[in-house]
Chain A
Amino acid sequence: MHAVYNFVAGPLLWVTAAVFLGGVLYRLVSMALLARKKDLVVYSYMDLRYALRSIMHWLAPFGSLNSRRRPVFTIVTFTFHVCLFLVPIFLFAHVVLWKQSWNVSWWYISEATGDVLTLVVIAACLFFLVRRLVLPDVKYLSSASDFVILALVAAPFVTGFWTYHQWIGFRTMGIVHILSGEILLMAIPFTKLSHMIFFPFMRGYMGSEFGAVRHARDW
């Protein structure tokens, strides 16, 4: 058990960091080079002002017409994405680990808050799952990989919650927790989770075309 823990919390963590950071960098650079080679329009029309205008409208809750038309989905998806970043970075248990390993620390959220935010993420994942199973158009679009990705996202939160509350088998669960977090991070650059990396560029490009060329709004 200790050996496994030491492995996932040691060497594998380094591998994860390398794959995640290297992967993000690789995807960005290779995509930028591909665009330079095959989609020069992207460089010709990208316009910082209009890119930001569009991105800001889409990042602001209810800033786009579609998000106003779907208030429930908007609230769920925004809180989901916010918690998704808050919990891993600002959870007390995680901040402590950073402190131990690197002697760096920052602001953290209370344990109760962390608990609630974790539950929010899990609930949101369930919401997305039900949506995929119930709404005909989303169901039609969904393939096995969409469910796997959803499970990948939910896993660290479910296992983390389990571990924190020291339910049965929490030591094993702790290892699963670290492992699932690592898998999630490594998956980001190479799956549909890469929308995290490409969102600003895609929305920015569409915003640039709509704003600078077509003089219209795209939200």
Chain B
Amino acid sequence: MVAPATQDKPKIHDMGIAQGAAKLTPERIEVVIRQFLKNETGARLKAYLETCVHCGLCSEACHFYLSNDNDPAFAPAAKVKQTLGEIVKHKGRVSPAFIEKACEIAHTECNLCRRCAMYCPFGIDVAYLMLVMRRICHLLGTTPQYLQDTAHSHSATLNQMWVKEDEWIDSLQWQEEEAQEEIPKLRIPLEKEGADVFYSVIGPEPKFRAQLIYQAAVIMNTAGVNWTMPATPGWDNSDMCMYSGDNEMMARLKRAHFETAMRLKVKRIVMGECGHAFRSVYDMGNRALGWRMPPIPVVHAIEFYYELLKSGRIRIAKKYPTPVTIHDPCNVVRGRGLHEMLRYVADALCEKVVEMHPNREHNYCCSAGGGVINTGPPFKNKRVTGNRVKAEQLFRVKTKGVKTVIAPCHNCHGGLEDIIHVNQLGLELKFLGDLIYETMEKPE
């Protein structure tokens, strides 16, 4: 039997992983893994594992590798070698301790940002491989506790934050009332059939960041968009099950989301500023349901704001005065190519945009995405120190006078906030919605 993956790193205790592993026996692991490999994996896993020539060209693609002083254990190919490589080599005959370690690697040392796919000459998709590993962890019942809690929330309430149906409606009405003090005729239409836009958000918006719904309502009303939000579960576009390896729940969530849009007969779904949710709706959830592309057009907020600004439906009264920089979220940039639109929007809103390097498709991840921030406090330090390169990047633009970082993604906000705080960078984080709300011409 294979010994635990060797990594000279401090042991982090996670109840979800540890207690899950305590229930495992080598026999159970072998049975589960064998069944999984036989039933759910095929050519991609085989081709990726069998052709990787261990050249190390992917190492420098990874912010974990770079930030941990080029520790070889953090190289993308090394993460595969320590997890699936061993599992496939030993045909599933691995120990519970090995699973614990592999689980930590797959869940907390890879943001699935796919930067390494752009550094591997063969195009080996390490993000896919880490998801395969997470799927194994899920099937074995060893998922980090905080992430699993979120997944439970998804299965119980169809949203990420245990928001009940009435609480959801209540939050929207509360934001509508608040906003009416500013714009008396403002509405947040609920259940409006045949609207042009179904505006969908992630669970944390009504829970912690209700001002974003307020701002979105002001933008929609000012631009005269025919929009609606649903009053039923299915409003949440987020999807932590996609990252916990619970593919069945991922499919259920996306079905609820798409079916809500279809029930309302809307023309398209406009999503708030979230990256992972976009990936789940545009790239993974649709596949899980058997749709090549989403069954209804899906647009990320960046693209939507681009349209509003370009067509003049939103006009800017006064540009944001202090220099800003742009953080490119992996799931909408590498995942949807919205980087140029993002720059168009940023330029339209701000006096001065200073670029970070590398940027666009080659940006460094925020280190929060891929469900890593959702593994919660046990892994926070690891995640933040694992992205020193981002802190350095931010520091470099700070020396050029940048005060504000635009990050059109909730996970990036969470991750960058911690990086800014821990490294005492004193930078402010903004969504595009924040900036549009601040700079736009509003009705009297």
Which residues of chain A have a CB within 8 Å of any CB of chain B? 31-32, 34-35, 37-39, 41-42, 44-45, 54, 58, 64-66, 69-70, 73, 131-132, 135-143, 146, 149, 192, 194-195, 198-199, 201-207, 210, 213-219
Contacts and interface: CB of A to CB of B under 8 A. Distances in A.
Contacts of B60: 66, 69
Contacts, number: 131
Contacts of A146: 53-54
B43 A34 contact: yes
B44 A216 contact: no
A62 to B, nearest CB: 13
Contacts of A194: 50-51
Interface residues of B, number: 47
B298 to A, nearest CB: 12
Given A140-B73, A192-B53, A201-B47, A38 B119 contact: no
A201 B118 CA distance: 15
Contact of A141 (B42, B43, B72): B72
Given A66-B61, A137-B70, A202 B55 contact: no
Contacts of B335: 214, 216
Interface stretch (B121-129, B169-177, B229-237, B433-441): B121-129
Contacts of B400: none
Interface string B106-144: 000000000001110111110000000000000000000
Given A140-B73, A141-B75, A58 B47 contact: no
B283 interface: yes
Contacts of B337: 214-216
Given A39-B44, A137-B70, A214-B337, A198 B118 contact: no
B118 A219 contact: yes
Contacts of B42: 34-35, 37-39
Interface in B77-95: 77-78, 81
Contacts of A136: 70, 72
A131 B41 CA distance: 33
A215 to B, nearest CB: 3
B122 A216 contact: no
Contact of A139 (B72, B123, B283, B333): B72
7 contacts: A31-B47, A70-B57, A141-B78, A146-B53, A192-B50, A203-B122, A217-B361
Interface SS of A by simple majority: helix
Interface in B415-430: none
Q: Give the residue among B124, B293, B337 with the most A Cβ atoms within 10 A.
A: B337
A90 B334 CA distance: 42
Given A41-B287, A198-B47, 17 more contacts: A31-B47, A37-B42, A39-B42, A42-B43, A132-B54, A137-B65, A137-B78, A138-B55, A141-B56, A141-B72, A142-B54, A195-B51, A202-B123, A206-B125, A210-B334, A214-B337, A218-B361
Interface in B1-52: 40-44, 46-48, 50-52
A218 B123 contact: yes
B336 interface: yes
Nearest to A33: B43
A218 B117 contact: yes
Closest 10 CB pairs of A and B: A38-B42, A206-B123, A215-B337, A140-B72, A35-B43, A141-B54, A138-B56, A216-B337, A137-B72, A203-B123
Contacts of A37: 42
Contacts of A66: 57, 60-61, 118-119, 121
Contacts of B73: 140
A204 B44 CA distance: 13
A143 B61 CA distance: 22
Nearest to B61: A66
B118 A65 contact: yes
